[in-house]
Structure 1
Amino acid sequence: MRVIKSNALLSIANSYICDSPQPINISYAWNFGSLLALCLGTQILTGVILAMHYTPNIDLAFISVEHYIRYP
């Protein structure tokens, strides 16, 4: 038996990604919508990460930006 079918988490991910129903004629609009969803997910993720490191103090704001640059 394949690992994807035996593991519960991989089976759920496979059912959402690979086995999801798609139209017979996948058009450019379908691909564009998928790309927009990927961009939205990336923006939400990076926005949450940046919001966790927000510093309202002017003196500490430069230090926090310098920290981002030095320690990736």
Structure 2
Amino acid sequence: MFDFLEDMFLALRFIIQFMTHGLSITDAVAASIEVLQILLGIYGSKVKKKGKYWLIIHRTIAAMLLIAILIHIE
């Protein structure tokens, strides 16, 4: 449920941003990383044998997302 709401707000925010200010590269990068994080979360919740590197990748993407958001709002 949280993933669905997050996707909806991400899409809504991107549409509003694009219609009012045009395409922002930092916004597009942060949104892309967030979509990747959502897909990794869905994969992690559906697959029983994720492999030993899945959690490391998931946490690394989370850190990258935080950095991308901070760069975007600067």
- TM class by shorter chain equals 0.3 to 0.5
Which structure has more relative contact order (CA 8 Å, sep 6+)? It is 2
Kindly name which structure, 1 or 2, has the bigger radius of gyration based on alpha carbons. 1
Say which structure is richer in helix: 2
TM (normalized to structure 1)? 0.39
TM (normalized to structure 2)? 0.38
